[in-house]
Amino acid sequence: MRLSIVIIILLSVASCKSPEARYPVSQNSGSYIDESVERNKEMIAKEEDYIKQVMGEDTDTEFLTSADGFWYYYNNKSTDSTNTETPEFGDIVIFDYSISTIEGEPIYAEGEKATREYAMDKEKLFTGLRQGLKLMKEGETVTFLFPSHKAFGYYGDQDRIGSNVPITAKVTLREIKESDTKN
- Is a pLDDT exceeding 90 seen at residue 135? yes
Q: Which residues contact 92 (CB under 8 A, 6 or more apart)?
A: 117, 118, 119, 120, 176, 177, 179
Alpha-carbon distance of 9 to 81, in angstroms, equals 96
Q: Which residues contact 178 (CB under 8 A, 6 or more apart)?
A: 91
Question: Sign of the C-alpha dihedral, residues 158, 164, 169, 173?
Answer: positive
pLDDT band for position 176 (cuts 50, 70, 90): very high
Task: Give the H/E segment covering residue 49.
Answer: helix 31-57
Residue 136: which of 97, 180, 182 has the closest Cα?
Answer: 97
Report pLDDT digits (tens) over 58-95: 999 999 999 999 999 999 998 888 888 999 999 999 99
Q: What is the Cβ-side half-sphere exposure of residue 172, based on CA atoms within 13 angstroms?
A: 11
**What is the percent of the chain with per-residue pLDDT over 70, rounded to a whole number?**
89
Q: Give this prediction's pTM.
A: 0.80
Alpha-carbon distance of 116 to 133, in angstroms, equals 12
Euclidean distance between the first and the last CA atom of the chain, given in angstroms as a whole number: 92
> Worst-scoring range by mean pLDDT, 1-5, 53-57, 126-130, 150-154?
1-5
- Is a pLDDT exceeding 90 seen at residue 50? yes
- Is a pLDDT exceeding 80 seen at residue 159? yes
pLDDT at 9: 74
Task: Return the bridge partners of 106, or none.
Answer: 100
Cα three-residue angle 43-37-23, rounded to 5 degrees: 140
CATH classification for the domain delimited by 39-79+86-177, as one of 3.10.50.40, 3.40.50.2300, 3.40.228.10, 3.40.720.10: 3.10.50.40
* Domain ranges across the chain: 39-79+86-177
- In this prediction, residues 14-18 reach a mean pLDDT of 63
